[in-house]
Amino acid sequence: MLQREIKLLHKNQVKLNIIGDISRFSARLQKQISAAQEKTAGNTGLILNVAANYGGRWDILQAAQKLAQKVETGEMTSSQFTEEALSEHLCMQNQSEVDLMIRTGGDCRISNFVLWQAAYAELVFIDTLWPDFDEQAFHEAIAIFASRQRRFGLTGSQIDEMRAL
């Protein structure tokens, strides 16, 4: 099934990015995932992120462990262990941060999903269950997002002061 879907993704210039700890999958599936990502790596259209055995805490931990190993081996110094360096070792490196996170099903939590990347995301919680999430529900979520003032950690008055300059 994966091979059939990859042909369609490749034909439509979609880049596949599997995020998560795939080391627990069978060797055969790991090989198929790697081949699928390699086949679509040069595609220039949409990026399809598929979370498989993924957790935000795990992602931050594995990135920190990679950096700690680099410090240990002398490839970098501890002062080079920065937010940017950590971001470069996360599963979704080279992608923009999350602007909007829509949580369906009435749950008001992010459930350990893209914790680092969602630091300044606008969160929209809707009661609609995922199987029933349709174009109308999507447009409602976008309308909520569009009505908000994105502040990226600043206060409303700080934003107003910046605009006045």
Q: Tell me the C-alpha distance between 66 and 116, whole Å.
A: 16
Any residues with CB less than 8 A from the CB of 97 and at least 6 apart, and which?
A: 117, 118, 119, 120, 121
Q: Which residue has the tokens 């919680």?
A: 125
Look at residue 3 in the predicted model and tell me its pLDDT.
80
Residue-range domain boundaries for the chain: 1-54, 55-95, 96-150
pLDDT for 153: 77
CA distance 165 to 149: 18
pLDDT greater than 90 at residue 71: yes
Task: Please check the confidence at residue 10 and state whether its pLDDT lies above 80.
Answer: yes
Cβ pair 68, 34 in contact under 8 A: no
Residue 163 confidence class, pLDDT cut points 50, 70, 90: confident
| pLDDT tens-digit map of 82-116 | 999 999 999 998 888 899 999 999 999 999 999 99
